[in-house]
Structure formats: C-alpha cells, structure tokens
Amino acid sequence: MPDDVILLKGTYTYSGKVLVSYKTENDIHTTDFYNLAVLNDDGTDFRVIFSGVIPRKPKANGIRYMPYQDNTRVLLGDYVLECTPDIDTCTSSSLVPIAYPSILEEDARSTKHWSEIIIAPDNKHMSWTILRSDVGAAVAIGVLERKTDHYAIENVQLINHIHPFEHDPTNPGFIIPIPLRGGEVKQFVRGGNAISVAGGKQNSTPDSIVQDLTSDNRTQITYTPGYDETTIFSPDERLGIVMSTRFSKQTDPAIFGLMPKPYGIYTSMGLIRFLYMYAVDGVRKYRPGNIGPVLIDIQRSMHEAGYQGIQLTTDEKNWFFSSPMSWHPDGKRVMWPEMLKGGDPTKMRLQTAKLPDYKSEPPVPITTTTDNIPYGIKDLTVLDSVNPNIEGKIAGKHSGYINYVRNDSGYSGNTEALYVNFSDDGEDFYNGYEKVHYSADGGRYETNLQLTGSKQGEMNFRATFSALGGPKPARLLFDTDADGKPKSYGYATYNGITLNIADLLE
C-alpha cells in the first residue's frame, strides 16, 4: 500500500477486492476521521473511495466493514456507505445514517446498541447483537429499507432466548433449561437463512454455533474445551476460519471445559466474560499467547473427536489476530488483520493464506432471508420483563437433579449448581458442586465435581480472577487467600487428560 497509509482494518469484498480503512499523518489526530480504499490483494490498483468523518454514536462499538453482496454498499454499523457505480470503480460515495429501533437503542439497559452487525447476501436483511446489562446480549434481525435521507430497519424481531429457564408446570420447584439462542452474530450462512454466532450449546465454554432461521435447529461447529468464538465460512461452506485459543497452551482455558457436564453453559454463566478477558483481551494487551485464527474443515470439526484444524498464527510473540476474517470469493484465499501487541490500533498488518490445492465447490446459492422465523419475537417490549434470577431443580432424565441458583444484578452476581446423583442416561452420574461469583472487581469459579459410571472424570479446582478492566484485565491470582490456600489451585481430569490451573499464565 502507499507509504502514507496507516492501516486500520481490511476485508475481502464479494468481487475479490480488498476493502481497507486507514489513517494518514494528516488526519491521524482528527476524531472519527476515516479513509476507505479498495485494492487487489497483491497490493496493486489502490483506489480511495471515501475520506471523511464518520460520527460515532455514544453506544456504538466503533466501526465495522461489511460489504454488501451487490458490491455497491458497505454496512458500517450506524451508516451505510453507498458507492457509485460500485465499490471497485467508485467515483462518488455518500454516508447514509441508519435509524435503529429507538426502543432498543435508547433503553438504559442497552450498553451497546450494537456490538456486531452483519448484512445478508440478499442485500436487505441485517442482524445485530445488542449488549445489555440484564440478559448479557440480545440479537435482532430486520430489513434495511432505504428512505429519502436514511435507512430504517423494519420488521424487527428478536432471535435470542429471553429467559434461559422456565418453571416446570407439572413439577413444582423444578425448572426446565431453554435452548440458548443468540450471541455475537458473525456471518449469514446457508444462503442467508442461518447465522454463524459465537454462543454455546453442549460445552461449558463458548463455541461456534450455526443458528437456523427457518427452524429451531442450532448446529454446533466447534467442540474444543477452551474458548472458540467466530467461525467465518468459505463461500462453499466446507471450510472455516475460527478465532480460537486451542493452539495457545498457556492461555487456553480448557480446564473449564475439559470434563463434559450437563447444562455446563448454564452453570458457567458469569464466568464467560472472565475467560474472554483472560484468554482474548489479555493476550491482545500483554499476555503471551495467541487467539488464532485456525483453519478448519467444517465436517471434521463437527464430527471428529479431538480435531484441531490448522494453526494460521505466524508470530504470536509480536502480533495477534484482530477481526474481521474474510474469504476471497474463489474460496481459496483467506484474510485477517493483525495488531502489534500492546493494543496500538495504528500498528496493523493484513495477513493472507492461500489454499492452492483446495478444490472449492460452487458457492452456496443465495436465497431471500426469511421473515418467518419460528422463534422470532416481534414484541420488542419483552426485554422489559427480563429477570435473570432463578432458583430451582433441573431433573435428570434418569435420576437425581441439579439444584440451580442464579442471582444477577447487572454486572455482578453469582451462580451455584449442586449435583445430586444427576444422570440423564443411567450410565454417567454427577455429584458435587460448581460456584461462580462475579463482578467488575473480580471473579471466582470453584468446583468439586465427580463424574462416575461409564465415563470417569473430576473437576477439583478454584480460579480467582482480578478486575475485568485496566491494562492487565482478568489476571489469574495465585497468592494466599483467607483460607490459607492459593486463590487459584487444583485440576480437572477426563478421558486420560489432566489439566492444572497452575499451568495457565498468571
């Protein structure tokens, strides 16, 4: 790129060009000033398509760069950049604001009126994640309609779960877990009728999930015990690139997910933000380690036990992965930005990986994204009734129960789960407890849980984290606690593997 370019972000477009945002010495200190350009991925044919101020709203999560499939527009978050005649040969561009539903944007419990935004390949439907102080995150979908001087989002629906449990009407004192939908939206897939999200299903730690929009189905893509988040699918949807801690042994929080647990993603509520700040944000700021990306075969990732994929990190000592990840439309090239460790957003580079031997198949055909979502909620006021607090017993399908208690007040609370001879299948039995206490000032996870029967396992450890904020967030603390024991100690063992909390970096 030209010598005066100070790179910020870069992504492939649907035509195969690279869209970059950047600063120059002339505007680096100008608030909200951005330059956008397109070029080939060999660095040639650099063409500026926009230079100017993109005003940032108070509760926006910065600027995102989501090219439309029609190659004439870019979704930025609170704006659409319209290019004439198209992105590749742009001779004029205009910034058009987006009007989000005020009931979602202005709600005091919405701490970010969007944290992630994606545009469907039908060039109409948009989905976004809203960070909230009550449910953690809500997910909405709607239709972007061009008006005279703005875009409006119409036919808005919520597509996340509202309450993770409901009371069992036939069994007083018992509660029924509700499938967890939503999370951070990452990409429309299956032609536009499903969404790749960072969420959770069978594991106790976050995984990449595909949430169908035409049915209740949720498909788990990754199964590692550590921290997996984004999967961006190739055009033929046979490959993916994943943000993952799996190749970072000293920062991979696999000890929390090594032993499978029933409803583990529910019992770890409140813990996930500490795992993110430790394994992701901490690595970005100062801690040795990496967060990917990882190249995966989708079917192998879904069905092959222990599958890891291919590590794409080349220099974890100095650089770390930063979003967005993207695919060239030929399905044989991937791209992602990397930032110099320390978190300086002006120290960026673009990495590419080529797959010359991969025989890509035709892209998944584009369809119109459905508005008939079976679990969609059109009444946006349901968020007014959110109460994350719950207490009750989860019945085992064969025997026993889990006594579950969650008390949450915004960004602090606790979750406790007591397992009493719990078994769903009559072969594996759980006894013991898990406890999570969390606040902005720090968090603690404690467990003494045994798995007996056809499978054997044990979790017997404590993990204490420092505050979520600051230059060194969510440090694992090992100094002596009031009970005379280290603040973090112990192990988890399952399937011949034993992990110790002391092996993770402080």
Residue 85 · residue 72 · CB < 8 Å: yes
Residue 387 · residue 163 · CB < 8 Å: yes
Tokens for 480, please give them.
């002596």
**With pLDDT > 70 as the criterion, what percentage of the chain qualifies?**
100
What is the C-alpha to C-alpha distance for residues 76 and 174, in angstroms, rounded to an integer?
Answer: 45
How crowded is the C-beta side of 148, counted as CA atoms within 13 Å?
Answer: 0
Total number of domains in the chain: 2
* Region of residue 331 (left: phi > 0; alpha: psi -120 to 50; beta: else): left
Task: State pLDDT tens for residues 212-230.
Answer: 999 999 999 999 999 999 9
Residue span of the structural domain in which 32 resides: 1-99
Question: Any alpha helices (H) in 238-350, and if so which ranges?
Answer: 264-267, 272-276, 282-285, 298-303
Task: State pLDDT tens for residues 120-178.
Answer: 999 999 999 999 988 889 999 999 999 999 999 999 999 999 999 999 999 999 999 99
Looking at 54, 70, 99, the residue that finishes a domain is 99
Residue 302 · residue 220 · CB < 8 Å: yes
In this predicted structure, what is the pLDDT of residue 133? 86
Note whether residue 456 is domain-resident.
yes
Looking at 53, 75, 99, the residue that finishes a domain is 99
Note whether residue 230 is domain-resident.
no
Write the single-letter amino acid at 105: E
What is the C-alpha to C-alpha distance for residues 306 and 304, in angstroms, rounded to an integer?
Answer: 6
Note the pTM of the prediction, 2 decimals: 0.96
In this predicted structure, what is the pLDDT of residue 471? 87
Q: How far is CA 99 from CA 66, 109, 152, 434, 506, in A?
A: 17, 19, 5, 43, 44
Note whether residue 136 is domain-resident.
no
Note whether residue 227 is domain-resident.
no
Note whether residue 3 is domain-resident.
yes
At residue 257's C-alpha, the angle toward residues 254 and 263, to 5°, is 165
Task: State pLDDT tens for residues 58-95.
Answer: 999 999 999 999 999 999 999 999 999 999 999 999 99
Tokens for 132, please give them.
């909230």
In this predicted structure, what is the pLDDT of residue 505? 80
In this predicted structure, what is the pLDDT of residue 372? 98
Note whether residue 426 is domain-resident.
yes
Residue 461 · residue 491 · CB < 8 Å: yes
- Over residues 3-14, the mean pLDDT reads 95
Tokens for 312, please give them.
């794409």
Note whether residue 7 is domain-resident.
yes
Note whether residue 173 is domain-resident.
no
Looking at 99, 119, 144, the residue that finishes a domain is 99
What is the C-alpha to C-alpha distance for residues 466 and 486, in angstroms, rounded to an integer?
Answer: 14
In this predicted structure, what is the pLDDT of residue 343? 66
H or E element, residue 103: helix 102-105
At residue 219's C-alpha, the angle toward residues 216 and 220, to 5°, is 140
Long-range contacts of 139-142 (CB under 8 A, 24+ apart): 139/181, 139/182, 139/183, 139/185, 139/197, 140/101, 140/104, 140/380, 141/213, 141/369, 141/373, 141/376, 142/101
Count of beta carbons in the 10 Å neighbourhood of residue 150:
13
Please return the burial class of 236, using the count of CB atoms within 10 Å of its CB with bins 0-12, 13-18 and 19+: middle
Strand order in the sheet with 33-39: 6-12, 18-23, 33-39, 47-53
